[in-house]
Amino acid sequence: MARHNFSDMFYSTMIGDTSFSVLKRYENLQPIGSGAQGMVCSALDTETGEKVAIKKLNRPFQNVTHAKRAYRELVLMQLVNHKNIVSLLNVFTPQDCRDEFTDLYLVMELMDANLCQVISMDLDHERLSYLLYQMLCGVKHLHSAGIIHRDLKPSNIVVKSDCSLKILDFGLARSAGSNFMMTPYVVTRYYRAPEVILGMGYSENVDCWSVGCIFGEMIQGQVMFPGVD
């Protein structure tokens, strides 16, 4: 990431209670979502004429855990190139020296909605099948690259009006076979495989279970396995 003079390259604006300091090429910021990892806005990239999504990571360097998650998401999005994986277009920080480096922004392609919104719609068999096919294609590509997503859920899957689908949010992803702690706290509860719940070792198959739960929810219109523990 290149260092730039703040006054020349960036401007600041408030989005709700969150301050966004972005490159001047990105205009007309509008909030489109927020979560534990940060806030996302849509914007117009005046250099390309395309609409994009800008994600401000929430306190990415607050502690080692947050820093590792931000690093994983950035690296994996740079490495993975597939039509069913959301593309990383740019990365920047408004800070011009390491000692002040606190904010990180990811610029991604903009989609129209996530599956949470799509699930409430009355989709025909053809559209349901096509969405499932794309989910599986994206997951297969991740697994072929030795990556376990570990947090597949409707809010992490986005679609366009033409029914094209992409997977995002790689903050909890890991390399398959890597020496990481097999924590049961990955994957949102409703989409968590039995071996994760039982604290057993797990592999790429946990992503396949999550896809099955998501697809079942799309058919039924409600969560397949609700519960509080």
Cα separation values, 197 from 129, 185, 194, 202, 206, Å:
28, 8, 5, 10, 11
Question: Which residue, 109, 138, 169, sits at the end of a domain?
Answer: 109
Question: Which residue, 76, 109, 142, sits at the end of a domain?
Answer: 109
**48: CB partners within 8 A, 6+ apart:** none
Q: Please state whether 119 falls in left (phi above 0), alpha (psi between -120 and 50) or beta.
A: alpha
139 within domain boundaries: yes
173, burial (CB in 10 Å: exposed 0-12, middle 13-18, buried 19+): buried
Could you tell me the CATH number of the domain that includes residue 28?
3.30.200.20
| Tokens 């069913």, located at residue | 84
3-state DSSP call for residue 194?
helix
* pLDDT (average), residues 3-27: 86
225 within domain boundaries: no
d(CA 220, CA 47): 43
Together in a domain, 130 and 173:
yes
Question: Which residue, 62, 81, 109, sits at the end of a domain?
Answer: 109
182 within domain boundaries: yes
Contact at 8 Å (CB) between 122 and 219?
no
| pLDDT per position as a tens digit, 156-165 | 999 999 999 9
Q: Which residues are tagged catalytic?
A: 151
Total number of domains in the chain: 2
3 within domain boundaries: no
d(CA 139, CA 80): 11
Together in a domain, 90 and 129:
no
6 within domain boundaries: no
Together in a domain, 119 and 208:
yes
Domain ranges, residue 170:
113-220
pLDDT grade for 182, boundaries at 50, 70 and 90: low
| pLDDT per position as a tens digit, 37-55 | 789 999 999 999 999 999 9
| pLDDT per position as a tens digit, 101-129 | 889 999 999 999 999 999 988 889 999 99
